[in-house]
Structure 1
Amino acid sequence: MVIAIGLEGSANKLGIGIIKDGIVLSNPRRTYITPPGEGFLPSETARHHQAEIIGLLKQALREAKVIPEEIDVICYTKGPGMGAPLVSVAVVSRTISQLWNKPIIGVNHCIGHIEMGRAITGAQNPTVLYVSGGNTQIIAYAEKRYRIFGETIDIAVGNCLDRFARVLKLSNDPSPGYNIEQLAKKGKKLVQLPYVVKGMDVSFSGLLSFIEERADSLLKKQYTPEDLCFSLQETVFAMLVETTERAMAHCGSNEVLIVGGVGCNVRLQEMMARMCDERAAKVFATDERYCIDNGAMIAQAGLEMFKAGVRTSLSDTFCTQRYRTDEVEVVWRDD
């Protein structure tokens, strides 16, 4: 029986999770929330993580009913993410690794999402749509790598939604994307927005500029904030479903796994399910416990790596803000 602890803090969510052979023992999380209309800055986010992490570590151990001596490996997010928050969590991870005399493993954040999604849903070899505030990728496993078949060429879909939420001055509690989703459910009129798919890649920056510049005039006409949220969601999600379907066709896949914070969106899941129904395929997704950044996903990926013999030397426990999904050799999978 192997027990792994995972520490995640690549953006505004700070999470610490403890896993015992695939079973989640604890997974508390704390979120840095800014006032409406504002994003979160790296320095302020790092200070939040620094202030909260020791209390969260004690909470995770208490809820899991585990003592440090019982933990086999420390896992932390190596990247990608925001520099200052990543480093803040890595410092604590290195410290407890030395204090507790435990091995440490640096985990790719994106692969953490994938391995947690596979573990929770039971998806075997899915085409993965990874959508969050900082990442948008269509991924499939092949020959010991998670290969990126398509991605955003500018901003991530979550970042697009978050920035439009600032235009409407929506609350950041619990998240701007969630509040856009709730408004979109009441939208009735579709505004025609730029639809930008370039081969297997997508682009959201032009679409965002288009709706940002016209938001005031549209709201003065016959459109409501609900209509604008509805239109934005329908457009960007259609782009994601199209590129995911193309990757499925290329790989001969009959499974889709949606991961990342935006993956909690019920409308995205509905649109993907409709496409999968037409292809006699299955769609897998999780709820906010595991879609949104959390420590358990880092522990799960680290656990798989640990059992496959992977270790990170203390001198290599730095952070990499642009840590590509396909840089990691997936030594723990045999298929």
Structure 2
Amino acid sequence: MSAGGLRRGLALLTGVGMLLGPGAGLAQDNVNLYRFVLDVDVPESAGLVALDETPTLVLLGAAPKPVMVTLLASRTPELLRPGLALDVAPYFLVGGGIRSLSGYRSNSVAGRLMRVLTKTTLSVAVVPDARNPDSWRVGFGLRTTLHDPHDPVLNSPLPEQVAGALASHGVAPPGDAEEDVLERGVDLSALFAEALRTMRARGDIRISAGWGVSARVEGDVLSADGLTDTRHTFWVSGQSALGPRFDVLATVQGLDVWSSERALRFGAGVQRKTTIADFRAELAFDGTDERLHPAVAVDVKLPGCTSLIAALTTVPGPEARTLRAQVQLRGYLAACP
């Protein structure tokens, strides 16, 4: 056997070993978690939740993306408002995605807490103030996923399969800090697609929670009077897959919780998934006006880890429900083969 043939044979045997033994063949058992973020179910920006500027009132329970930028245009009969939001996982920023695979999969208390930390994001968002278009409202949010049965690193052999596929083609394994394995000359799209199907077939419920605060910006934001009309919100959302194409959504949200005008919002919805778009319909009860608010939305997947959401909902108004149309363009970090 030639030297080249021997090298290819050894590479193939190494790849098979990776597929048969969880964690086997992965250099030092290390894995970069952010290589395996799937292009599915991008949740709302926590900063926009704080500003009450999400496309729909019922929120997704899915795990967040490590980085996401959102541009929005929100239209009511009285006003057209643009907006901008940035969401980022602090764990991602400090390079925490490089983890021991066995440690990440551990069901110890420390292992579970670290998985929650990995899926925690901070968010900031800004939109013009609805009552005074010359002022702005800024929102800050913190969101985390408490239970995520659709995590492909935790609940599938995707890391071992990717390592095995690269090795079987004689491709050197990626460095620990390398987050993209899709541009190494090996077609991995089938592995990621199968991981996505496997995760959705698990069913179960994903649970996320968050806190946000919004305020009106007036004058010097560094002064005591720079931020006024502060409002806090807390929420818990759940998302259960009933099959490869249907989800049930539910949200409970406390609005303006530290003021005398605090109120409760809760609702439920359904999501129909297709290859190119997700369709949602929902009904929510808002305690601020004690009315039911329906909403519909379509989330279209675009090339390059982007999506476009168009939504129509009613929101509480000064005297009656107000019809609001909103469009959001989002770009995020994920594996988008």
Pairwise same-fold verdict (TM > 0.5): no
Which band: TM-score by shorter chain? under 0.3
What's the TM-score, normalizing by structure 1?
Answer: 0.25
Question: Looking at CA atoms only, which structure, 1 or 2, has the larger radius of gyration?
Answer: 2
Higher relative contact order (CA 8 A, sep 6+): 1
Q: Which has the higher helix share?
A: 1
Q: Which has the higher strand share?
A: 2
What's the TM-score, normalizing by structure 2?
Answer: 0.25
